[in-house]
Amino acid sequence: MAPRLLGSLAAFAAFPVYLVLRGAPSAIEVAAFAWLIAPIMLSWFLSRTGRYEGAHVLSSLALAGLIMAIASTTGGIESFAAIWLVVVPLEAALSASRRVAAFASLLALSCAAILILVSQFGWLPSEHVGAAQRGVMMAFGVASATLYAAGLAFGAESLARTSVTLLSREEERYRLLARNMSDVISRHQRNGAVQFISQAAEAMLGMPVAQLLGHGLFDRVHVADRPAYLTALSDAARGDVRSVEFRLRREPTGSERGQVDFIWVEMRCRPLDQDLGRDLTREAEVVGVMRDVTDRKLSEEALDQARSAAEAADAAKTRFLATMSHELRTPLNAIIGFSEMIAQEQTLMLAASQRKEYAELINASGQHLLSVVNGILDMSKMESGNFEIASEPFAPRASLTHCCNLLALKARENGIDLITDAPQDLPVMTGDPRAFKQIVLNLVANAVKFTERGGQVTVTASASASQLTLRISDTGVGIAPDDLKHIGSPFFQCGKTYQRRHEGTGLGLSIVKSLVALHLGELTVQSKLGEGTAITVKLPLVYTPPQAKPAESKIATLTPVLRQELQDRPQDQPALVKKSA
């Protein structure tokens, strides 16, 4: 536009001088000057409307009008100006619009046809120009048209070079953007093959970009996530925008070598060409943007775990209240009731035998209440990490026999055979004898409690070079598979609370499990509903307390087994137990 505007301004400035020197201009001269100053009007039209193609159409009309005006007075189709009709579509080609170029071509052909017709029918004015002068004018027309066409060619070449430069700069800008983005940008075929992937993939996956091209990225997608990955790319190739989360295998580095590490990524993919994506007969490319969302997924998992822990805490609270409401109120009611009767012995005329009976009932209720409270406090100390093991040498056979003798009377009253099989040569072990007795008493008492009349409870002990093995088996009611996985949880009792047939707080096995873990031992439970239960306890013959680091918490000093056990339980349960106690 700039050269044409400069020429227009020069012609506009020279027009008054031309009038002074030439006098009144002819129609051809006026048309020539009008065409020369036409770019000024076209620029005004373009600035007011912004219609670039319309400005080119008006320019083609102005040029064609000038050519027709000159050719109609200088010989028609044989005029030197007729050759300029070739320039009309050439000038329109600068618009880069097919419609404008087609219009200019039709306009030039129409003008040529008109000139041919008027020449054939003799409608042109007669001219008095010699052959020599006609040759000069024709040479001028060809030369001027050639020079103008050459100017258009140089303009088109400059425009093309500028377009290529701008396109190259734009591509370089996008490459720079892709290289410096933390998100990974990739281009895929419909089948998922990678054609391009940005440098951010090296930092994300720890491997060169070249190894991710083709199906290299697909090979690193987790097997379980590959269907979702391919489905998202296929939907995007059909013109839809899709978002998918999947796992990618990250290349281990340094000390991580030999380990398989997956990260979670989120990929949003869309078709590279929206219109092409709708055409199912053609292969559409897909652009994907991936980002690492591992931290977010870990947060979601932690939130789910916290929610599960809260639900477990709520269930533990319900179990605690349902169990303690019975276990605490029953002995307290007995203590209060019988103590009131003793206090009113003169009114009720109680005999000495009745007072003795009531006192024994109060004592039994108090002992039961004390055992319940002690169990709660022991469980609370174990969960908080404050339960200390008083390690000393002791004879496990004597402790085992003593515990079985204590429960033999109860077993006989229930019609149960209690069999003890402990070899005479059991070695002396080092540990907490009080905790050992508590383990045996709880396990044998549970076995006796849940075995029907006529059943059998067997207690066996054996020793190897480094550990003592206790096995308590019974022929009782057994444990359902759904309840077996909750065995050892505080206050948990098999079956529904309101359907209980036996007394108890549900802390026995939980205390046993914690004491075994504190002794660095193992506890396994095998049971089948209606056939009985077998519990195996393995304890080291020599207990070695773990060495606690100063910076570690009390719970961190426990064994891995107990730490895992405490993590699996609701963390607010110790506080609830202490408050209730």
Q: Where does a domain end: 117, 140, 173?
A: 173
Which of 494, 497, 484, 490 has the alpha carbon at shortest distance from 513? 490
Instruction: Verify that 199 and 248 share a domain, yes or no.
Output: yes
Structure tokens at 288: 């994907």
Whichever domain contains 435, its CATH number is 3.30.565.10
Instruction: Verify that 439 and 547 share a domain, yes or no.
Output: yes
Instruction: Verify that 95 and 199 share a domain, yes or no.
Output: no
pLDDT at position 563 is 41
* Residue 550 predicted with pLDDT over 70: no
Q: Does 312 fall in a domain?
A: no
> How many domains does the chain contain in total?
3
Which of 56, 36, 47, 147 has the alpha carbon at shortest distance from 102? 56
Instruction: Verify that 285 and 207 share a domain, yes or no.
Output: yes
Tens of pLDDT, residue by residue over 504-544, are 445 667 778 888 888 888 988 888 888 888 999 999 998 88
Dihedral angle of Cα 199, 203, 204, 210, to the nearest 10 degrees: 50
Instruction: Verify that 418 and 394 share a domain, yes or no.
Output: yes
Mean pLDDT of the residues in the chain: 78
Instruction: Verify that 116 and 199 share a domain, yes or no.
Output: no
Instruction: Verify that 283 and 218 share a domain, yes or no.
Output: yes
pLDDT at position 385 is 60
pLDDT at position 564 is 42
Tens of pLDDT, residue by residue over 462-481, are 988 888 999 999 988 887 77
The answer to whether 133 and 79 have CB atoms below 8 angstroms apart is no
**What amino acid occupies position 463?**
A
Q: Does 42 fall in a domain?
A: no
For 323, 470, 500, the CA distances from 416, given in Å and listed in that order, are 27, 20, 21
Q: Does 418 fall in a domain?
A: yes
User: Residue 381, Cα to own-chain centre: how many angstroms?
Assistant: 40
Q: Where does a domain end: 131, 146, 173?
A: 173
pLDDT at position 129 is 61
pTM of this structure: 0.42
Instruction: Verify that 332 and 437 share a domain, yes or no.
Output: yes
Instruction: Report the range of poorest mean pLDDT among 43-57, 317-331, 535-549.
Output: 317-331
Instruction: Verify that 444 and 570 share a domain, yes or no.
Output: yes
Whichever domain contains 207, its CATH number is 3.30.450.20
Q: Does 346 fall in a domain?
A: yes
pLDDT mean over 388-416: 85
Instruction: Verify that 417 and 523 share a domain, yes or no.
Output: yes
More confident residue, 53 or 134: 53
pLDDT at position 558 is 39
Q: Does 19 fall in a domain?
A: no
Q: Does 260 fall in a domain?
A: yes
Instruction: Verify that 349 and 442 share a domain, yes or no.
Output: yes
Q: Where does a domain end: 249, 273, 292?
A: 292
Instruction: Verify that 542 and 406 share a domain, yes or no.
Output: yes
| Residue numbers of the domain that contains 267 | 182-292
244-249 contacts, C-beta under 8 A, 24 or more apart: 244/269, 245/293, 245/297, 246/221, 246/222, 247/221, 247/222, 248/204, 248/205, 248/217, 248/220, 248/221, 248/222, 249/205, 249/220, 249/221, 249/222
d(CA 115, CA 79): 10
- At residue 435 the predicted structure's pLDDT band, cuts being 50, 70 and 90, is confident
More confident residue, 562 or 144: 144
Give, as one character, the DSSP assignment of residue 498. G
